[in-house]
Chains A and B, each alone.
Chain A
Amino acid sequence: MPLTDAPRIVTARLSYPDSYTIERFLETGGYQALRKALTMTPAEVAAEVDAASLLGRGGAGFPAGRKWSMLKPDPVTYLVVNGDESEPATFKDHLLIERDPNQILEGVIISAYALQVTQAFIYVRGEFALGLERMEQAVNDAYHHGALGRNIFSSGFSLDVVVHPGAGAYICGDETALLESLEGKRGFPRIKPPYYPAVIGLYGQPTVVNNVETMANIPWIVANGGKAFAALGGGRSCGTRMFALSGHVNRPGAYEVEMVKVTFRDLIYDPQLGAGVRGGRDLLAFIPGGASSPWFGPEHLDLPLGQDEVGQAGSMLGSGSVVVMDSTTCPVRAAWRITRFFARESCGQCTPCREGSGWLERILYRIENGGGREQDLDLLLDVCDNISPGVHWPPEQTTICPLGPSIPPSIASSLGRFRDDFLVHIKDGGCPHG
């Protein structure tokens, strides 16, 4: 593990070229954690995960143990795994699905045992053709190995898993939209309440929804104990986490590092990680946790990669994706492209999100392309305020799902930090960055 001596938890196998095969998986301890779990009671397994203080890796960072404890007892309950990864610049689940699908599956089977669910689904983003094939193969192999199906490893526990392909819609990453999609409908996020799928989820039954990386941590936690996991990291952010680093760095990639013990500076500049800004240029800004997170500047480089630490500094770790922008980047263009993404992906149920995203995109487009007016800057903030009153962080929630309030942060960040740049665009009638 770069920088600290924490073990690799979810990427341990990735250095093998055949890391995705059942043979390599079994040779490197695969299904040992499942065998161990099956000798414990379901409650004991859940207690280990709770003791691990494993925060969900899908974006919201909700403790997995607590989510599990909320599952309403019912004869029919489900586990649904979120592998829809479509958040801009997030590419860690893609890697885990393609390179170690068996590990995810082992996590799913253990979790299903702990939760005593009757059926699990792994929802994989449709655009991951290879990932879907590898996951399907892993499921087939697990059945033939006795790790899935009836009476798993003669334990009396039975489980079926279905790999479900998405079909291209970012919004299906939202857990309630994902459930709608899995039911064969359009991916419209559900109106709350009910707030928790753990009470009313798939087909109206209690359902736990967890992210792919969250699942990938489960075998290690069961094999080594929740305490060992909780001993890594710091504060509420325990264990290791994958960070997807992209943009203007010398070595973009998805890196597993120990939480809190490593800073953004380490991630971006350490020779084993990002290895610095490309061309030795200055850092303009970076996006710390996905398209919906407020941007950080060079003054934030020494912040530790911890959920609460980054939250208190005014942004979020979110989906674990860090985008580095160097001094040649046009902040207007960057904000425009992110806004256009939200405008394209809004499901259209809520007026502020549906209309607001389009207006914002058009205003930013005209500023970038020379048609901007000075009043546009106030107009941008005004529209943002209509989507999420106050435009503060964390954003006010006004819509059915968090996508709407996710639109203002990149605009407010870009405009707040680089107002002069916006004004030059307007005065010069175009983009000074060419």
Chain B
Amino acid sequence: MSYFNAAMAARARQLVSLYPKARSALVPLCHLAQEQDGWLRPEAMEEIAELVGVTPAEVRGTASFYDMLHTEPVGRYVVSICTNIACLLDGAAELLDHASERLGVPVGGTTADGVFTLEEAECLADCDHPPCVQVNHRFVRTTTADAFDRLIDELAAGGRTEEIPPHGTLVRIRRSGGLRVPPDEIARERAQRAQGDG
């Protein structure tokens, strides 16, 4: 009766073990839940609460603080367009309007087929390629309306999946190094060594 599937559950346990205090794994676990389902289901928040030792309300309260964590379903592709100062100077507001028209949804909306969600983003730190567009937090560098339309066509036709995994998958590299030695144990060893030297 657990929320995470077997593979995810193993990764969840590993995540918790990486930190000196379990609660630090809360946000990474939310990312993991989004990788499994695309968004944070209530059952996910309940299980995360149990894993890190807080109440489900605390998980929800914390998750709701962060823009990337979604407590409602979002599209398979979350399209984020920055309109902050550097992008604004280069046509970002116009590109956002175009995107809204092309996708047929207002900013914040999801297409009826559940494929695309459109978001207006704050600065995404790629200001030498304005206006800056991300899909599922991958920089796609489509800066014109035409390029944007081509990208949407490609994604709708099931293309570019290698480069842009479904929403929720953030880091595809699995941690393979790093035994978990608790810091107090390292400190104890170090103190012993120092004593030995002296």
Point out the residues of chain A lying under 8 angstroms from B175, CB to CB: 136, 139-140
The segment from A5-13, A81-89, A378-386 found at the interface with B is A81-89
Flag if A329 contacts B89 (CB, 8 Å). Answer: yes
Point out the residues of chain A lying under 8 angstroms from B65, CB to CB: 169, 186-187
Given contacts A125-B125, A143-B176, A167-B68, contact A183 B24 (CB under 8 A): yes
Instruction: Quote the shortest CB–CB distance from B136 to chain A (angstroms).
Output: 7
Flag if B171 contacts A287 (CB, 8 Å). Answer: no
* Interface assignment of A137: CB less than 8 Å from any CB of chain B: yes
Instruction: Quote the shortest CB–CB distance from A97 to chain B (angstroms).
Output: 10
For A159, the closest partner residue in chain B by CB is B186
Flag if A91 contacts B126 (CB, 8 Å). Answer: yes
Instruction: Fill in one digit per residue for B25-53: 1 if any A CB lies within 8 Å of its CB, else 0.
Output: 11110110000000000000000000010
Point out the residues of chain A lying under 8 angstroms from B171, CB to CB: 129, 132-133, 136, 165
Instruction: Fill in one digit per residue for A173-205: 1 if any B CB lies within 8 Å of its CB, else 0.
Output: 000000001111111000000000000000100
Flag if A165 contacts B170 (CB, 8 Å). Answer: yes
Instruction: Quote the shortest CB–CB distance from A211 to chain B (angstroms).
Output: 13
Instruction: Quote the shortest CB–CB distance from B161 to chain A (angstroms).
Output: 14
The segment from B1-9, B80-88, B146-154 found at the interface with A is B80-88
For A160, the closest partner residue in chain B by CB is B178
* Interface assignment of A43: CB less than 8 Å from any CB of chain B: no
The segment from A61-69, A245-253, A301-309 found at the interface with B is A245-253
Point out the residues of chain A lying under 8 angstroms from B124, CB to CB: 127
The segment from B96-104, B105-113, B127-135 found at the interface with A is B127-135
* Interface assignment of A416: CB less than 8 Å from any CB of chain B: no
The number of residues on chain A lying at the interface, defined by a beta carbon within 8 Å of a beta carbon of chain B, is: 74
Instruction: Quote the shortest CB–CB distance from A162 to chain B (angstroms).
Output: 5
For B54, the closest partner residue in chain A by CB is A184
Which among B27, B134, B173 is the interface contact of A140 at CB below 8 angstroms? B173
In this complex, the member of B26, B69, B123, B184 whose beta carbon has the largest number of chain A beta carbons within 10 angstroms is B123
* Interface assignment of B11: CB less than 8 Å from any CB of chain A: no
A167 CA / B123 CA spacing, docked (Å)? 14
For A326, the closest partner residue in chain B by CB is B89
Instruction: Quote the shortest CB–CB distance from A234 to chain B (angstroms).
Output: 27
Instruction: Quote the shortest CB–CB distance from A188 to chain B (angstroms).
Output: 8
Which among B27, B88, B191 is the interface contact of A334 at CB below 8 angstroms? B88
* Interface assignment of A341: CB less than 8 Å from any CB of chain B: yes
Which chain B residues in 143-198 approach chain A with CB under 8 Å? 170-173, 175-181, 183-184, 186-191, 193
Flag if A247 contacts B187 (CB, 8 Å). Answer: no
Instruction: Quote the shortest CB–CB distance from B64 to chain A (angstroms).
Output: 8
A393 CA / B185 CA spacing, docked (Å)? 48
A365 CA / B122 CA spacing, docked (Å)? 17
Instruction: Fill in one digit per residue for A139-154: 1 if any B CB lies within 8 Å of its CB, else 0.
Output: 1111110001110000
Flag if B85 contacts A291 (CB, 8 Å). Answer: yes
Which among B20, B23, B88, B127 is the interface contact of A91 at CB below 8 angstroms? B127
Flag if A89 contacts B127 (CB, 8 Å). Answer: yes
Flag if B62 contacts A119 (CB, 8 Å). Answer: no
A283 CA / B126 CA spacing, docked (Å)? 23
Flag if B187 contacts A181 (CB, 8 Å). Answer: no
Instruction: Quote the shortest CB–CB distance from B60 to chain A (angstroms).
Output: 11
Given contacts A139-B175, A170-B122, contact A129 B136 (CB under 8 A): yes
* Interface assignment of A158: CB less than 8 Å from any CB of chain B: yes
* Interface assignment of A94: CB less than 8 Å from any CB of chain B: yes
Which residues of A are at the interface with B, using a C-beta cutoff of 8 A? 75-76, 85-91, 93-94, 116, 118-119, 125-130, 132-133, 136-137, 139-144, 148-150, 156, 158, 160-162, 164-170, 181-187, 203, 244-248, 252-254, 287, 291, 321, 323, 325, 329, 333-334, 337-338, 341, 344-345
Which residues of B are at the interface with A, using a C-beta cutoff of 8 A? 18-21, 23-28, 30-31, 52, 54, 61-63, 65-69, 80, 83-86, 88-90, 121-128, 130, 134, 136-139, 170-173, 175-181, 183-184, 186-191, 193
Report, nearest first, the 8 A-B pairs whose CB atoms are least far apart.
Answer: A143-B177, A168-B67, A167-B66, A184-B26, A184-B23, A168-B68, A246-B127, A118-B183
